[in-house]
A = this chain, B = another copy of it.
Amino acid sequence: MTAYKGYLIDLDGTVYRGKEIIPEAVEFVSSLKEQNLPYLFVTNNSSETPESVAQKLQNMGIPCETKHVFTSSMATASYLTEQREKQSAYVIGEDGIQKALEQAGITYEEDQPGFVVMGIDRSITYEKLAKAALAVRNGARFIATNKDVSLPSERGLLPGNGSFVSVISLSTGVEPTVIGKPESIIVEQALERINLSKEEVLMVGDNYDTDILAGINGGIDTLMVHTGVTTAEQLKEKQEQPTHVVSSLKEWKI
């Protein structure tokens, strides 16, 4: 087994389930910390800031500082600054994406923005979507933090950002550039952040269609853990298999 020099780790289903911690994940992350192995929690969540994600993980007993968190909003902000388009965006989304773009120096603009950026926005209105559609038709580049079609909640599965992104892509005929898992952009941005090469890093996650595919698409090794979405049965059906598979993170020797 390769000794990886760094870990990219999913959150929901891998480290916790909703509000409940997965105990093996605490031991796993604590071992990484003890051995001074760098790790980054890589999440499609665009609504929270890295500070609030780190706080939540600390409260659950996971060793985590703000520098250990990499959200799809941070990846989006970082990606935009590398593009040649006008550095302004019309933004639909919550705190996480608004602050990430602001901190990256992307100006907020409604009429002639270089980008239209969409993250989950639970205060969505028709007018926000109308403005986004007009800007995209007007030539703004369309960016989605992630394309998850549903969002787990205590009430059940609610519509996720991917469902709202389809409002704009269907009505304009323009498909977005997607930053989050399973796309490779968030993986590439995370590698820059953790400052390691593809061969040195392992992507850990419970969801084949987001976490594992992101690793595969990004060209890095993957560790599938069956504590969340994808079952062993479902995994059998997948053509491209993860590099490693465990039932729980307890089985993984760092």
Which residues of chain A have a CB within 8 Å of any CB of chain B? 121-126, 129-130, 133-134, 137, 149-150, 155-160, 162-164, 166-168, 170-172
Contact = CB atoms under 8 A, between A and B. Distances in A.
Copy tally for this chain in the complex stands at 2
Contacts of A124: 124-126
Given A130-B155, A159-B168, 9 more contacts: A122-B126, A124-B126, A134-B158, A157-B171, A159-B170, A160-B171, A163-B168, A166-B166, A167-B167
B159 A129 contact: yes
25 contacts: A123-B125, A123-B126, A124-B124, A124-B125, A124-B126, A125-B125, A130-B159, A133-B150, A133-B158, A133-B159, A134-B155, A134-B156, A134-B158, A149-B171, A150-B171, A157-B171, A158-B171, A159-B170, A159-B171, A163-B167, A163-B168, A163-B170, A163-B171, A164-B167, A166-B166
A121 B127 CA distance: 11
Contacts of A121: 126
Contacts of A164: 167
B167 A159 contact: yes
Contacts of A134: 155-156, 158
Contacts of A149: 170-171
Please name the 4 residue pairs, one residue from A and one from B, whose CB atoms are nearest each other, closest first.
A159-B171, A163-B167, A122-B126, A166-B166
A159 B123 CA distance: 17
Which among A125, A134, A149, A167 has the greatest number of chain B C-beta atoms within 10 A? A167
Nearest to A134: B156
Contacts of A123: 125-126
B170 A158 contact: no
A137 B163 contact: no
B137 A157 contact: yes
A106 B167 CA distance: 28
Contacts of A156: 134, 137
Nearest to A129: B159
> Which of A122, A157, A159 is most buried by chain B, counting CB atoms within 10 A of its CB?
A159
A155 B157 CA distance: 35
A232 to B, nearest CB: 23
A185 to B, nearest CB: 21
A125 B123 CA distance: 7
A117 to B, nearest CB: 17
